[in-house]
Structure 1
Amino acid sequence: MEKVSAKILRKSIHSFLQNYHYFTSTAVFLAFPFSVSILVSQALATDISSSILPHIYTRLKALFDAAGFPSSSQLFTILNLKVSQTITSSIFSLPFTLTFLLFAKACTIQALKNHKPSLPPSFSSIIPLYKPLLQTYICNCFFILSANATAFCLMFLVFSCIEGLGYNSSTCIFFMSACGAILFSVILANALVICNMAIALSGMEGHGGYLAILKACVLIKEKTSIALFLALPVNLALAAIEALFHFRVVRTYHMAGKEWPCVALEGIFIAYLYSIFIILDTIVSCMFYKSFKSGSSWIHLEDKLLLRIEFPEDSFEELP
């Protein structure tokens, strides 16, 4: 697993460096507005006095209380706050996501398909990729909502069973809350990996919608550990850049006596770095798709039947 993941990462970095000028210009002119919006929206979402966050937090808290989750659990309070901040940030950055981010991904995927990208990019070749990416992204939103609902339903059933058996001690509640947080993280991580693969697959094949998500689920079946390992470095880098933005820009904003031109330039540079890693994340997803597209995936069904699953442009093909 480590060898396959390292090979895909090396190919991704090689492709990025090989077309460095194209990808960096794509990140600046297309992904950059989305990066600014997501960083600023996250900074606003951390402010509890914002206009939207308290309402979302209150609604989710009422929903958790009605579902029977222990209100005394500190872990569920933190989970509620993080989910509320994520929803608030997503609402603010949604227009930039549906435009600049998808166009940036389309430019990146088009470059990987052509092997010799043109600079500046040709929008006549990018626009046909935008429609399937948009369809897949909308389906990804519903898929993420379904994954969250599934995680919360499972936690509700577990807490209901535990409460019915009479285990109401603080130690038991803390242990079950920790297990619920881990379960929620695992389900959400797998859902995000599938969504990233669906975006790359829809761009490479030109078909979007729920079928791209279904193909992505089949593609990474029994390869989930590789997909999670590939997603880990980029997501850690994005989280580090977000923390750097909060430390260098947001914190400075609340400090008196600081000159704003320097802070603004530093914020632009941080947003540029964020854009670069968004492009790298797209390249890694495309290389992960190519690594299985070039060959065949062998999976065992019912311990006896062996199927070779290939991914043609229009449909699945199963051969004995």
Structure 2
Amino acid sequence: MEISSGLRLSSHGLNREKNKENEGTDLGNLELETVVHDIRPDYHIHSMNALEILRETVRILRYNSTGFMAIVAVLICPVSAVVLSNVLVDQSLVKMLSLRLLLIAKSSGLPLKPFVKQSCQKLSEMAVSAAMCFPLFITLSLLSKAAIAHSVDCTYSRRKFDSSKFYVIITKIWKRIVFTYLWVCLVISGCLILFIVLLVVVSSMFLFMGFPPDLILYPAMVVGFLFSIILANAIIICSIAIVISVLEDVSGPQALLRSSSLISGQTQVGLLIFLGSTIGMAFVEGLFEHRVKTLSYGDGSSRIWEGPLLVLMYSFVVLIDSMMNAVFYFSCKSYRLESASAESEPALEASTVPSGSADVQ
């Protein structure tokens, strides 16, 4: 992917060398600049909000549409087809797990209303689907995330994406990516288990205090709302940790800690990205459930073209989500560097004032 100097991927700046060099720059400064460029501490991307990140993502997608569409076709679409169709999900396991959750809800005092039943059913489907599709998630899905992050990195560093070079790179960093992904699974699973335990404790406490089941539902909904915020933040941290494990030499807990410190101050942007991606995926999943699984015209011929189309739409949403996470990573790095330079500026000004006054005298 060659990008000429006349093209710009962002209005904020991929022209890293334009404003830095003067006509009188000597050879030593040029060599120092080359070393700094190779280390890649700063791509000179200004910190962006969610809409700007989306625009940046679209620009990157336009300049390397062939490569990203290849990633969609080879790596993302197979996983999307399996996830949407639930072909690997054992419905007997879903039913058994759903009954267990309903028993836990009933014992803790929650009323078995349709909302509670649907929540237990959905949670059971998600858990069984994640377990059954885990081999696909840890291979094709994880490989697609690594390829997307590497492609965005190549775009910003003005390097051509080479599949053979990417194969060599991925063989070297694959272990740390998998290790980070296992920690991500552990964090998400821990959040879900903590939510169930906390929900049972809160509901049981209100039941012990003599509240009727209908009123117990309200504090349970508050717990669910707070948990959704915590889970969203955890997913954002985990998504950026995957990008970090691809682009930096850290993995596992270190990648998660690095991600948490990196996005601090930019959490609202990450939440908006997560919200948009979640809404898009849920919308396509709902369409697939309604149009392909339950509804068909006559002999069901509509499923022949609607199914692949919705799988492609879902894969495209997954692609945009992964690309936005990679762009968000670079934006957070820029935000950190901007904050550090802003903090050091007063000290620099203080150190230059005495020298200026001495010159005047």
Provide the identity percentage: 24
How far the C-alpha of 1:118 sits from its partner, in A, is 3.2
State whether structure 2 residue 325 is matched by structure 1 residue 282.
no
Residues 44-68 of structure 1: per-residue CA shift (max 9 Å, x gap)? 86xxx922211111232334445x2
Residues 268-291 of structure 1: per-residue CA shift (max 9 Å, x gap)? 222122222212111111111101
How far the C-alpha of 1:119 sits from its partner, in A, is 6.2
Listed as ranges, the matches of 1:161-310 within 5 Å are 161-166=205-210, 168-252=211-295, 257-259=299-301, 263-296=303-336
Change (3 A) 1:180 1:99: same
1:75 and 1:181 in contact (8 A); partners too:
no
From 59, 78, 103, the equivalent of 2:100 is: 59
State whether structure 2 residue 69 is matched by structure 1 residue 29.
no
CA–CA separation in structure 2 for the residues paired with 1:174 and 1:290: 42
State whether structure 2 residue 129 is matched by structure 1 residue 89.
yes
Listed as ranges, the matches of 1:104-115 within 5 Å are 104-115=144-155
Structure 2 residues without counterparts, runs of 5 or longer: 1-46, 345-361
1:195 and 1:213 in contact (8 A); partners too:
yes
> Comparing 201-210 with 134-143, which one deviates more in the overlay?
201-210
More strand by share: 1
From 111, 117, 123, the equivalent of 2:161 is: 117
How far the C-alpha of 1:79 sits from its partner, in A, is 2.3
Q: Taking structure 1 as the reference length, what is the TM-score of the superposition? A: 0.81
Give the aligned partner of residue 15 of structure 1. 60
How far the C-alpha of 1:264 sits from its partner, in A, is 3.0
State whether structure 2 residue 51 is matched by structure 1 residue 6.
yes
Structure 1 residues without counterparts, runs of 5 or longer: 300-305, 309-320
How far the C-alpha of 1:220 sits from its partner, in A, is 2.2
CA–CA separation in structure 2 for the residues paired with 1:83 and 1:27: 27
How far the C-alpha of 1:126 sits from its partner, in A, is 3.1
CA–CA separation in structure 2 for the residues paired with 1:101 and 1:230: 19
Residues 92-126 of structure 1: per-residue CA shift (max 9 Å, x gap)? 32221111111111111111122232368842233
CA–CA separation in structure 1 for the residues paired with 2:95 and 2:267: 36
Kindly name which structure, 1 or 2, has the bigger radius of gyration based on alpha carbons: 2
Q: Aligned-pair RMSD on alpha carbons?
A: 2.8
Residues 63-83 of structure 1: per-residue CA shift (max 9 Å, x gap)? 4445x2424455433322221
> Comparing 23-32 with 213-222, which one deviates more in the overlay?
213-222
State whether structure 2 residue 157 is matched by structure 1 residue 157.
no
How far the C-alpha of 1:23 sits from its partner, in A, is 0.3
2:288 and 2:310 in contact (8 A); partners too:
yes
CA–CA separation in structure 2 for the residues paired with 1:125 and 1:257: 49
Name the SS of the counterpart of 1:221 in structure 2. Answer: coil
* Residue identity in the other structure for 1:32: C
Change (3 A) 1:218 1:29: same
* Residue identity in the other structure for 1:127: T
CA–CA separation in structure 1 for the residues paired with 2:227 and 2:279: 19
Change (3 A) 1:172 1:59: closer
How far the C-alpha of 1:197 sits from its partner, in A, is 1.5
Paired residues in the alignment total 292
How far the C-alpha of 1:298 sits from its partner, in A, is 8.8
